[in-house]
Structure 1
Amino acid sequence: MAVTSPYDGLTPEAIKAEMLADLQVKGVDVDHREGSYANTLVSVAAYQLYKLYQLFPSLLSMAFPDEDAGEYIDKNAAQLGMTRAPGKKATATIKFTGTDGTVIPAGTALYAPESGLQYLTTGDTMIISGMAEATAEAAEIGSDYNLPAGYITSMYVNVAGVVTVTNSTAAAGGVNEESDADFYARYHDRRTLPITSGNKNHYITWATETTGVSYANCLPLWNGNGTVKVVIAGDNRGPVDEVIRSACAAHIEDERPIGATVTVVSVAEREIPVTAKVTLASGYTTEQVGDQVEAAINELLKKQPFGEESTIPFSRMLACLLQCPGVADYSTFTVDGGTAAITLKAEDAAVVGTITVTA
């Protein structure tokens, strides 16, 4: 949200006019017509004041940052010893086939033809018995490099003796740099939530300190005394890969109090299919209504508490249908195959599944 200031409407001319009027009120009898000595002096001063007033809104962001404050989030968070998560590069296991004795040197450039994303091998390897394996690292940080197995299949410069190239496992571990919104949320939680001695908030803080973890919740005593479960998610409350989950678990293990048994799990995607038979409003199609229903239900799902069991009444889902501009009325509506409330587990990352709309 943009910061407003009582000085936003001021112009150099308005400031100048006010200063000249004030001189008259004080009885200063000088010529202040345009081009006069007094007018010129006041014009310079008014313009400098105008430039100063323009800085006032940014001063609020410096002292009281929000998610739009950019670098000032970093500066304020640094006072608490917090830094923005820098992002990570994805890695993948690459399988080469070809002539025995062929050496594939470290730094060999590979890429995925569909996307053009580039990867570099991290060490030398040699083909023995027709095959060799090497680890390849993405050329840049980012989750875009987390490609499925079988996508990295080409070399920028062919190596004599190599016949085929493929990533035998999915590329994983790539994470974008922490966004302003996510970093501000973490900074705000650190300032506002009581964090002491391994309490619930402490586990959430440790989890979100891990690169790639944007959301976390802690379930104390979930499996008896001394047990703690931490549920984590990445961007948009989506699942994280095993590389990120393991890194989060290792970080919490280093920080946790002695005696606690901690389980760290990623959310798993849960699709919720929807069917509806409707009377269309004039000018709308079933495809448009499907898009409207999907957007409305996704917005409802985003409002559910993260990392804990929750129940969504069927009436709330039905309201998502009835609020669609393209729906005049309906005759049937089912969610997840029925007309009952939807129960979400702590580890569910709920998304709208197949939407079937008929008229």
Structure 2
Amino acid sequence: MYENMTFENIMERCLARVPDTVDKREGSVIYDAIAPAAAELANLYIELGTIMDRAFPDTATDVDLTKKAQERGVFRQPATYAVRKGYFENGQGGSLDIPLGTRFSDGNINYRVTERIAAGQYRLVAETAGTIGNEYFGNLFPIDFIKGLAAATLADVLIPGEDEETDEALRERYYETLKSQAFGGNIADYRNKVKLIQGVGDAKIIPVWNGGGTVKVVLIDSEWSVPSPELVDYVQNEIDPVGHQGQGIGLAPIGHVVTVAAVTGVEIDVSFTLTLDTGYTWEAVQEDVKNAIKSYFVDLAKSWADSPNLIVRVSQIETKVLNVEGVIDIAGTKINGGTANISLDAISIPVLGVVTNGTA
């Protein structure tokens, strides 16, 4: 906005107001008298441009964007703590019960035991907020002494931890309040409220799915995969607790009977014949190829809530695989044994199954 208000341009404008009968060359008395003020003005215009950027949601960042969003009742979501499932065994390989509050480490972050699920099975909550709590699977090391403990294993992600909401995500939610009218239990209202619950990535809202007053909420988790039964139960309890449905005890309005369900994962097997560059083998590129296909499936999953249904396309899989280092060409691509694209139903997302290379 103020790009032209540079020191040079300000000096030129100021000197233009000085009569030509006065020496205006650099180093002259009048030049040296004006220059300090012009430099300060140039700095002020730079600062003014920064302030203008901070004042509007499309350019504001960090704290400024947080405050701007709060004007419309949109609050930045804080980082949350992952809830995991742990298995504990004694020296004979049997299940071992351990005290609640016991702490374990994966070598990077710590976890605290909060609830018993079954014999030798417990809920653990990460002590560090964010997605880092979702990442590790494997052996745990006790921080506290536990008599009889021989093995501790960190397994399922029950409720994914989430990082603090990014500027772009917050900005998108801010603009969403301007574009959609979320009110009194309409589709936009349900979707907005469900997305704010820990572990939820997005949701599809199906109104009157089982008659008047019924609402179905289909979830995808914040890792863009099929949510765990524990997350589904958690969201159900937040929205419309079982045993009190329709009574307005949760977030749902009085009279709305809400059923929360998980998105369905459809396994997609992929086969093809790859031509690899010199020095590369299938074993060397296999994981990168799988990750490339997974990234495509994640992109599809992120668009699921806004799409009537997802279509897994052969061409998109081939494009992703061809971007893998060491892959020169791809041919004969099939998904689930066929060469045609696969159209999923409205409440399904793709999950990668077996990946086969014809030359392997």
SS at match of 2:139: coil
1: CA distance, partners of 2:295 / 2:80? 33
2: CA distance, partners of 1:29 / 1:344? 82
2: CA distance, partners of 1:345 / 1:260? 25
Contact 2:139 2:154 in 1 (8 A): no
2: CA distance, partners of 1:87 / 1:71? 15
1:203 aligned partner? 190
Structure 1 counterpart of 2:30, from 10, 30, 38: 38
Letter in 2 for 1:235: S
Letter in 2 for 1:111: S
Residues 1:321 and 2:313 aligned together:
no
Residues 1:166 and 2:152 aligned together:
yes
Any gaps of 5 or more consecutive residues in structure 1? 99-103, 126-130
CA 1:275–1:133 in structure 2 vs 1: closer, same or farther (change >3 Å)? closer
Identity of aligned residues (%): 26
SS at match of 1:196: coil
2: CA distance, partners of 1:278 / 1:150? 33
Residue 252 of structure 1: how far off its partner (Å) = 2.5
1:48-63 superposed matches below 5 A: 48-63=40-55
1:153-302 superposed matches below 5 A: 154-156=141-143, 158=145, 161-164=147-150, 166=152, 170=156, 172-173=158-159, 174-235=161-222, 237-253=224-240, 254-277=250-273, 287=285, 290=289, 294=293, 297-298=296-297, 301=300
Residues 1:89 and 2:76 aligned together:
no
CA 1:187–1:121 in structure 2 vs 1: closer, same or farther (change >3 Å)? same
2:57 aligned partner? 65
Q: Which moved more, 1:37-46 or 1:233-242?
A: 233-242
CA 1:246–1:180 in structure 2 vs 1: closer, same or farther (change >3 Å)? farther
Normalising by structure 1, we get a TM-score of 0.73
Normalising by structure 2, we get a TM-score of 0.72
Residue 193 of structure 1: how far off its partner (Å) = 0.4
Residue 264 of structure 1: how far off its partner (Å) = 1.8
Residues 1:334 and 2:334 aligned together:
yes
Superposed CA offset, 1:309-329 (max 9, x none)? 42538xx52365379476668
Contact 1:322 1:329 in 2 (8 A): no
CA 1:194–1:43 in structure 2 vs 1: closer, same or farther (change >3 Å)? same
Residue 71 of structure 1: how far off its partner (Å) = 2.5
1:140 aligned partner? 128
Contact 1:301 1:351 in 2 (8 A): no
- Aligned length in residues: 334
2:311 aligned partner? 312
Residue 60 of structure 1: how far off its partner (Å) = 4.7
2:244 aligned partner? none
Residues 1:151 and 2:145 aligned together:
no
CA 1:319–1:233 in structure 2 vs 1: closer, same or farther (change >3 Å)? closer
Letter in 2 for 1:209: L
Contact 1:274 1:355 in 2 (8 A): yes
Residue 207 of structure 1: how far off its partner (Å) = 0.6
Contact 1:207 1:213 in 2 (8 A): yes
CA 1:252–1:45 in structure 2 vs 1: closer, same or farther (change >3 Å)? farther
Q: Which moved more, 1:30-39 or 1:276-285?
A: 276-285
1:343 aligned partner? 343
Q: CA RMSD for the aligned pairs?
A: 4.3
Superposed CA offset, 1:166-215 (max 9, x none)? 25874643332222232222222122101122111111011122133232
CA 1:37–1:269 in structure 2 vs 1: closer, same or farther (change >3 Å)? farther
Any gaps of 5 or more consecutive residues in structure 2? 92-97, 241-249
SS at match of 2:36: helix
CA 1:249–1:186 in structure 2 vs 1: closer, same or farther (change >3 Å)? farther
2:356 aligned partner? 356
Residues 1:79 and 2:76 aligned together:
no
SS at match of 1:211: coil
Letter in 2 for 1:166: A
Letter in 1 for 2:17: L
Contact 2:65 2:167 in 1 (8 A): yes
Letter in 2 for 1:189: E
